[in-house]
Amino acid sequence: MRILIINGPNLNLLGTREPEIYGTVSMADYLEKLETEFSDDEISYYQSNIEGEIINRLQEDNFDALIINPGAYTHYSYAIADCLKNIPQPKVEVHISNIYKREEFRQKSVTAANTDAVLSGFGMNGYKLALLSLKR
């Protein structure tokens, strides 16, 4: 299975950014573990701080399943939400922190309605849980 993982703005700083919220593991280190554990699958990773670049990558449509953490775009990007709506492949939205225990503006996701599931608050393991659910 070809699985695309997309991370939005500021998630390039995982491992160093607000470790009390996001932990100390970098995405590169975590991806290495995922690729080892799911060696039968092809895992592609893309991160951008730019909304249009995320949409362009989603529209390339060269994946069987999608895991997306839109970052702050979760709360206001109707452009990404519309793009997700037009993707027929299975897709899971992931949030490292529990967005419902954070600031009020972070508690709304405009993108979630256009995904098949949302995982929030499982730390980096949310990506693994999403991957497992997509493989069922």
Of 22, 30, 73, 127, catalytic: 22
DSSP letter, residue 103: -
Question: Of 109, 4, 113, which Cα lies nearest the Cα of 59?
Answer: 4
Does 56 carry a binding-site annotation? no
Indicate if 73 belongs to the active site: no
Q: Does 2 appear as a known binding residue?
A: no
Task: Considering the candidates 30, 73, 95, 127, report the single residue annotated as catalytic.
Answer: 95
114 is in an annotated binding site: no
100 is annotated as an active-site residue = no
CB burial class (10 A; 0-12, 13-18, 19+) of residue 68?
buried
75 annotated as ligand-binding: yes
Q: Binding site annotation covers 96?
A: yes
Residue set of the binding site for substrate: 69, 75, 82, 96-97, 106
Task: Just list the catalytic residues.
Answer: 22, 95
